[in-house]
Structure 1
Amino acid sequence: MSIQVSIFIFAFGAGWLQRQAVLPENFWAWTLILMAIGLRIPWSSQVVLSVAAKKILWGIFFFSAGFFWAAIFAQWRLTDSLPYEWESRDIQLIGIVASLPQSNNRNLRFLFDVEEVLTAGAHVPEHISLAWYKTRHQHHEVGEVTLPQVKAGERWQITVRLKRPFSHANPHGFDFEAWALERNIRATGYVRSSDHNLRLDKIVNHPAYWIERIRQEIRDRFTRILSGEAYAGVLITLATGDQRAITREQWQIFSRTGTNHLVAISGLHITMVSSMVFALVYRLWCWSPYLLLRVPARRIAVIAGLVVALGYTFLSGFSIPAQRAFCMLAVVAVALWRGRITSATTVLTWALLWVILLDPWAVCSPGFWLSFGAIAMIMLVTVGRIGSIHWLLEWVRVQWAITLGLMPLLLGMFQQVSLVSPIANAIAIPLVSLAVVPLTLLATIPMLDFLLLPAHGILSGGMQILQGLSNAPYAVWQQHAPPTWTIMAGVTGVIWILLPGSSGLGFFSGFPARWLGIVALLPMFLIPPSKPAKGELWLTVLDVGQGLAVVARTKNYTLLFDSGPGFGETDSGHRIVVPFLRGEGIKQLDTIIVSHADSDHSGGALSILDSIPTLRLISSLNTDHPIQQRFSTNRHPCHTDISWEWDGVLFESLHPLIQDYRNPKRNTNESSCVLKISTRHGSILLPADIGRQSEQALLDRGRNVLPSTVLIAPHHGSKTSSSEAFIRQVNPELTIFTVGYRNRFRHPDKAVAERYRQLGSKLLRSDIDGAVSLRFSNNSIEVETWRARYRRYWQ
């Protein structure tokens, strides 16, 4: 078995571990046993094995080695966890600011390395993530709020409240818990306001913190020099890896043009900079016969290129993509140092091995697949081809290969792919990598910071082109998440299409029947996601934390009830609802209902309206509300006279009354829209945030319409709602509490939850169960929770 195949099997084993619900037990013993089997049996004099049997045995060994290597890392990381009993309690710590602080108008965030726990009996993981919110300062004027001056590498004594890493659990959503585990962030929290929060040392003498201080000094200097410049954040990101410096609008341009890899310290930039240094040092060294006689120019150039690559990797904050790029360059450097010709596949597989050894969770990262996938596609169309073509045609072929080759992965991970990416990258890659990045890196030297202005000028010109491409009518293809087997078929089809032709860009000549690759690509586009049948209702209660967002689908229509909360600079509409709608293939909302103005129900609506065409708005919002202003027509107040039927499913608005809007002092919660959806298979009641007053009003107006199979608990299960009379009249078989993990309101109230339990209702909670999917069909309700379906050992 070749070493390349062995490495791929090892990586597959490590990836398989990341799909497990629980870690294997006694893995140390199993590892030793499997190693003994793998190393001893093939050469035992008493056992005669065929070549095929030996290969199978070696395959099992390498798969097991990868699997248990990842298990060892996982067990080591998980042992350093915050005990449940110390969540949401004040803990006093001494430690070091371990990362570049990220600030906005509300707070600043940073990683913190814990050195000492001052609170008796508390255990805190070594690496935590903290937010420090603005507080009123006693020495400032009344009402003025400030943020502390925190810099990387400082030692602080602070009081914090922590919780274990927790992620919203939704289909097509981001898994923060896996992301935090990969980065060894074992608790998150915030700094409590306290007179005992003190800076102890301004500088801690440790190389890791020196790098962070340098990154912060570069960021501060760039910010000062480029004050007021539109793309200052992009140059800061290219120099330090601080991606939060880029605005959301600029990220959208990069995403729509497929150039977002250019604004991170990516493998491309590290490789280009390292190659430039290699070429420069090689030429300079060759000018001196004296130096050539002592050390070959190639070896010195290799060392120089690798050192620069390592420095750039550290400058990026040692990000995961930068680590992967450095591993690849290190493999190439070793081969060049030894004077051996190394094949491209050898470089790729050895880099893969080192990445997995250092970071077994890399296989969970989209960047892992995209970076290795892009390199594999480039190798496929450039390495080992007979003959030569014009450099321009070669460049076009590479761009074509990357765009086509990554399409299945992009559709599977993000449900979209940029159609203008080949043009955008053909312009942006040489512009950014050969001009903007070198000038920006030279500007990190204080005496050369004047180079920032020409770098910004060049970047501004490129951004104008990218913005024009981004605004093109069909710049991005968006669709549903294709089934896994269609992605695998698509990758196979891409490889088939890119096999050698008789000429540089020949398609119907050369390797026979390459057009069959298109057939393998078609299932990703032509197999639509399943839909409800007529009379059925598919309903998903999304996990948006302390808030509400419910997607209801019939055969031909889709309704969104509430949009979840805002999260400061972003919101649940952008992070949770839109990815879910896109992944499910929902291209249009026929109706959006915003039950009331509270931000935990309306905070994501504007992002959704920006991303998904929406035909009708029903809400209890005032007419001057920004969400109302998005609809010049087809907006309606929700009241008891509104009802409609879609595909045999009845939608009824039960509250408020139309005359309630005449009261200028009406209570926001008590005016929440209440919606009932009825099918012949069952029904669901969505009462938003109504309290006992509105519950009684519903009982007085019409008790017979309240009974429902499923109930979304009013006001997240607060003690001011869910009166006994109300829940007895509704009499739900299933009750769902939409609550945030360890929320400050302590919803649901224990007495309220017990009230439902005594009624015989089954209880589900979004903070425990994640998104809840309900299918009303076949005279029953099929219930599935996302955490049960997508169970992983780190949850």
Structure 2
Amino acid sequence: MAAAWTAGLACAQSEAVAWPVVGILSLFLLLIGLFRSPFRWPAVWAILGIALGSVTLIRQAQIVQVGEDWQDQPLAITATLVAIEHSSLSLKLRLADVRADVGAGAPTNPLAGLIDVYLWKQKQLEIPALIPGQRLAASVKLHTPHQRQNPGGFDYLGMLKRQHVVLTGSVQSGPEILPQTVPWLETMRQNIRNNLPDKKDGGGILSAILLAERDQISTPVLDAFSASGTAHLLAISGMHLGMVAGWCYLLSWWLLTRRARWIVHIPVRRISLLAGIVGATAYATLAGWPLPTQRAGMMLLAVAVAWWWRESYDPMHTLLLALMIITLLQPTAVLSVSLWLSFAAAAALLLFMQADAHQQQKDPSFWASVQRLLKGLLAVTVIAGLATLPIITDTFGRIPVWSIPANLLLVLLYSAWVLPMALLGEIFSLLAWPDAASLLLQGAAVGVRLGNDWIEMFYHFPAGNLWIADIPLWLGLAYAAALMVAAWLWQHQRRRIASLLMAAGLGMFLLLSIPERPPSDSQFIAWDVGQGAASTLILPDGKVMVIDAPGSYGSRFNGGTTIADGLRAMGLTHVDVIMISHAQSDHAGGLLRLLEQQNHVGELWLADVPANRDYPAFRLAIKRLQQRGGSVRWLSQGDFQTFGEAKIHIL
């Protein structure tokens, strides 16, 4: 039932399925539902999923319908600040309850959705101390978001729609803080922020795991976490909620078992379970309940219900029920990568480890407990890594080769050191004991820096940053099928065959996904990169030349990212030559990101003029390129260069 429901929901909301196809499929399912057959109820649930998905799409379309009087003109507005995102170039403010001041040509009705506006630091506007929850007044200029048309491009419009953001723009003047009481939750969150160490000292990661604010984490650190398959530690997920719930459970159990009379007359385990749920709920509330945390919370609640009624409910059925509840309350979640990462990992752990749960010999000695803990952590890491591999590689474009050792070290470090000390620091921040809070958070930051050193080490190992081209759908489905058959064999005690099948499936996946799949003919691509220009020449022998990589310096997503994503969508993970025409951000701002997102770059071609030799971005790019085995070629006017079968004339 859950599979039919989610398939129908996804079918209705996916842009890959045209509306006529959805209509024909609905009629076909309706015919099946009218007859008594084994497929009757799955068809009914699929129709219900399609219906909810269609209603959700219609509702989204109504929200994003914005009048022209909101767009392309300066507007004086008042709005409530929902979130702040920092970058080296700007502050992004997410605003809700947006109202335009009364005036000629101004819209009269409040905006139905949210808006994202940017405070560009180069404008040198006076920026007050902003806290989410404040009411602001500002002059802004808004426009409808634009989806760039590139192969393999990020679905920017889809993300904004799912988050109910209808307009984006920039702040022309202001913002000014209006007199209004800040909600108590935001005041508490600000108290925690005030005690965090500097972002360079680990404060950025602590902000991510306590407040779900990742914008303070530097780009190199984010890249290293993504490459090692440990980026899940930076989002408040089921692991974080589970650890908090487990600690609260153990603390409650310890307190309630201090007296024999309490053990006899009080349902100790159930009260401890409730304490765990309350603790996890409080943690998620302070984090602001971001969408991944909401889904993890629902999953945790489903696990708690299954444990409460453990004699009546199968854990897998409970997990599927949780999936249906999540997609019922948040229909757009069915297209969320974070949901399917969590579900795939949880389902695989249940399928592979449930059979062993009743067979373990409980040796009470300390070393036996440590051994069980390490074996369990290794099993969880391997199974979760195998189950989520196709989703991770398809979403992030790389294979986390060192994922297992990196996760073993980092999960132990974060669960035993970083998160406990950070949570204690959070509690003392709320109790208005800043000295104790700062001391504990500094201690947690020491663990963060140690973890960053380990991640950096894995990042520079061989294949520590291995990019791959987009994987075909059939390969991901074949790998998933092999894993499901292996899980069935494992449950039926055919462990050796299951292990061989998993190894064969993994080998097949790696063997077919790592090699490039270049186009068979010559192509010249002009990329849609916004301000600036970028193009690429691809020859039949697989040689690739990129001309210019524009973008904002220091940005994690710019023209260099766009080009790299597009090349991977076309089956390429290398560039033979990058040629930059001018030492300006409109031509070279994305150069570093392009270099970092390729397995190999052969040469960098630059004009041999003093401005280029003195340009800081070029000096840094040359250093990075030479460290990775590439070289720079300085060109003069009138030079001729050979590139495969093409001849390049420098004018």
- Please tell me the TM-score bracket, short chain as reference: 0.7 to 0.9
Q: Give 2:70's aligned residue.
A: 86
Instruction: State the match for 1:130 in structure 2.
Output: 117
- SS of aligned partner of 1:616: strand
Deviations 1:513-549 (A, max 9, x none): 66654575366337752522xxx41222222112212
User: What is the distance in 2 between the residues matched to 1:525 and 1:228?
Assistant: 37
Alignment equivalent of 1:525, drawn from 513, 526, 529: 513
For normalisation by structure 2, the TM-score amounts to 0.85
Corresponding position: 1:265 with 2:263 = no
Instruction: Kindly report which structure 2 residues correspond to 1:150-549, keeping only aligned pairs within 5 A, or say none.
Output: 150-193=130-173, 197-204=175-182, 209-222=183-196, 226-227=197-198, 230-287=201-258, 296-337=267-308, 340-385=311-356, 387-388=359-360, 391=372, 392-444=374-426, 445-446=428-429, 447=433, 448-449=436-437, 450-498=439-487, 500=489, 508-509=496-497, 517=505, 521=509, 524-525=512-513, 528-532=516-520, 536-549=521-534
In structure 2, the CA distance between the partners of 1:378 and 1:336, relative to structure 1 (3 Å rule), is: closer
Check the 8 A contact 1:442/1:451 in 2, yes or no.
yes
* Residues 241 and 315 in structure 1, CA contact (< 8 A), matched pair in contact too: no
The 1:540/1:314 distance shift into structure 2, 3 A limit, reads farther
**1:581 matches 2:559:** no
State the SS of the aligned residue for 1:475.
coil
Q: What does residue 563 of structure 1 align with?
A: 549
CA contact (8 A) 2:561 2:593 kept: no
User: For 1:595-629, what per-residue CA distance to the aligned partner results, in whole angstroms no more than 9, with x for missing partners?
Assistant: 22332222111222344333333344633224553
**d(CA) in 2 for partners of 1:541 and 1:187?**
27
TM-score by length of 1: 0.70
Distance 1:72 1:358 in 2: 13
Of residues 5, 9, 27 in structure 1, which corresponds to 2:4?
9
Q: Are the structure 2 counterparts of residues 522 and 329 from structure 1 closer, same or farther at C-alpha, using a change threshold of 3 Å?
A: closer
Residues 440-490 of structure 1: per-residue CA shift (max 9 Å, x gap): 111112234132232222333333333222221232433221211011111
Q: Deviations over 1:676-727 (max 9, x none)?
A: xxxxxxxxxxxxxxxxxxxxxxxxxxxxxxxxxxxxxxxxxxxxxxxxxxxx
CA contact (8 A) 2:306 2:315 kept: no
Question: Which residue identity lines up with residue 330 of structure 1 in the other structure?
Answer: L
Distance 1:286 1:16, change over 3 A: same
After superposition, give the CA deviation of every residue in 1:62-86 in whole Å (9 maximum; x if it has no partner): 1121122122122222212233453
Q: 1:437 to 1:547 in 2, by over 3 A?
A: same
How far 1:58 moved relative to its partner? 2.0
Name the stretch that deviates more: 515-524 or 148-157: 515-524
Which residue matches 1:728? none
Question: Aligned partners of 1:459 and 1:8: how far apart in 2?
Answer: 40
Q: Secondary structure at the match of 2:95?
A: strand
- For the 8 Å contact 2:483–2:502, the answer to whether it is kept is no
Structure number with greater Rg is 1
CA distance in 2, matches of 1:179, 1:465: 32
Asked if the contact 2:88/2:555 (under 8 Å) is kept, the reply is no
| 1:124-156 superposed Cα distances (whole Å, 9 cap, x missing partner) | 3342222223477xxxxxxx7642222221112
Mapped to 2, the partners of 1:61 and 1:601 lie a distance apart of: 55
Q: Distance in 1 between matches of 2:345 and 2:410?
A: 16
Deviations 1:187-208 (A, max 9, x none): 22222216xx53222424xxxx
After superposition, the C-alpha distances for 1:220-249 in whole angstroms (9 at most, x for unaligned) are: 221xxx248621211122111111121112
Amino acid at match of 2:74: D
Instruction: Please say if residues 574 and 601 of structure 2, whose CA atoms lie closer than 8 Å, have aligned partners that are also in contact.
Output: yes
Q: What amino acid is aligned across from residue 416 of structure 1 in structure 2? A: R
Write the deviation string for residues 139-198 of structure 1: whole angstroms up to 9, x where unpaired: xxxxx764222222111222211122333332222212111112222222222216xx53
CA distance in 1, matches of 2:128, 2:18: 41
Structure 1 335/398 Cα, relative in aligned 2: closer, same or farther at 3 Å?
A: closer
What is the count of residue pairs matched by the alignment?
Answer: 613
* Mapped contact 2:30–2:44 kept (Cα < 8 A): no
Aligned residue number for residue 368 of structure 2 = none
Secondary structure of 2:116 counterpart: strand
Q: Which residue of 2 aligns with 1:64?
A: 47
Aligned pair in 2 of structure 1 residues 426, 527: CA closer, same or farther (>3 Å)? Answer: closer
Distance (whole Å) between structure 2 residues aligned to residue 228 and residue 190 of structure 1: 26
Partner of 2:90: 107
More helix, by proportion: 2
Q: State whether residues 277 and 308 of structure 1, in contact with CA within 8 Å, keep that contact through their aligned partners in structure 2.
A: yes
Match of 1:615 among 599, 602, 606: 602
Give the counterpart letter for 2:78 in structure 1.
Answer: I
Deviation at 1:425, TM superposition (A): 1.0
Residues 626-670 of structure 1, C-alpha deviation per residue, up to 9 Å, x if partnerless?
4553458642336344253534xx3443x63xxxxxxxxxxxxxx
2: distance between equivalents of 1:454 and 1:575? 35
What is the match of residue 44 of structure 1?
Answer: none
TM-align CA RMSD: 3.4
**What's the offset of the Cα at 1:398?**
2.6
Change (3 A) 1:383 1:602: same
Tell me the SS of whatever aligns to 1:169: coil
Q: Summarize the Cα distance change of 1:172–1:146 in structure 2 as closer, same or farther, 3 Å threshold.
A: same
CA distance in 2, matches of 1:340, 1:177: 46
Distance, in Å, in 2 between the alignment partners of 1:430 and 1:268 is 12
Check conservation: 1:573, 1:603, Cα contact below 8 A.
yes
Unaligned 5+ runs, structure 1:
1-5, 42-48, 137-143, 657-795
Contact 1:494 1:521 in 2 (8 A): no
Alpha-carbon distance change, 183 to 145 in structure 1, aligned in 2, over 3 angstroms = closer
Q: Please say which of residues 600-609 and 15-24 is displaced more in the overlay.
A: 15-24
Matched residues in 1 for 2:214 and 2:222: separation? Answer: 9
Counting only pairs closer than 5 Å after superposition, residues 660-739 of structure 1 correspond to structure 2 as none
Deviation, 1:104, is 4.2
Q: Among residues 598, 601, 623, which one is paired with 2:587 in the alignment?
A: 601
- Which residues of structure 2 form unaligned runs of 5+? 362-370
**Using the alignment, how far apart are the partners of 2:164 and 2:553 within structure 1?**
23
Give how far 1:326 is off.
0.4
Gap change, CA 1:443 and 1:514, over 3 Å in 2: closer
Work out the CA distance in 2 between the residues paired with 1:171 and 1:599.
Answer: 23
Tell me what 2:633 maps to: 635
Distance 1:645 1:455 in 2: 52
Shift of 1:290: 7.0
Shift of 1:584: 3.3
- TM-fit CA distance, 1:367: 1.6
**Contact 1:135/1:146, CA 8 A, preserved across alignment:** no
